[in-house]
Structure 1
């Protein structure tokens, strides 16, 4: 059995796919050169004629506007030197109706009074195992202009030191203090009823 060696044989040329370059005869080359030369020789004359026509048109345009510019400049400007600044026309006075009508208006707003309750609020911001950590938190809160307290508490888990603020008369006051502390990254505060 004979094996065929396809690699060494190479590819067979395919018919119709290859385009052979067409060779021009020397006579055709000379004819093309003469046509190109005559075409390029006519082109500078056309350009020259167009440039001259544009220049002539521009000069004519300048000549026509020259007279109108002289008329505008030569026209006398009438300035009356005897006029005073006081001779200016009077400005009309503006009349605004709202100036007259606003003083008589009254706006009535019904505001529900806030009920005062006997409840007072406290805010606990942290609870620490050591008193020194609680003192650090108290100092940070004091730099924000708020007063806090440290309250020790004993529970099933041992002794803790709670940092609390208050008492606040309304929950709104407690929320205001909570937002102030949030600006310095103390976001662990919780608002409760005062029951200590």
Structure 2
């Protein structure tokens, strides 16, 4: 039996001599003279640009100052103004305050129209009366009174948990928001169907 070398992943095959290749080191490169010249040229150009714009701001200020001096000489009666001073406040000329002082405003309000049918709110519909009574108890804990109505549908009897009647939809919305704050969602508001 031959000894196997488990650490060597690529063992030498029988009959072939193991050859090793030596990697040659890259030849040393010379100093990049062209790169140095390009870099120095760019730095010199940038320095010249900065030097040229350095005095341009002073020149424009001097030319503007000389223009101002020339206008000041031509108009000697104008005193120099403070550049940080605010302009004078404008005079307010409002006349509506005096015009509306003793007048009354008349508004046409439409007559209140009461709904022809009151509203109701249904919070659940169950097959078992016990489930409907449980929801009625949850609603009672919120401070509202609900009724359980037995209604015959096409698929049998249903027990509906309803609140109302409400004269206005706003009152029904107020109670629905109270129930939502208590964690009871899904209550629907519609016109009352008297029974």
TM-score by length of 1: 0.48
> Could you say which structure has the larger radius of gyration?
1
TM-score by length of 2: 0.48
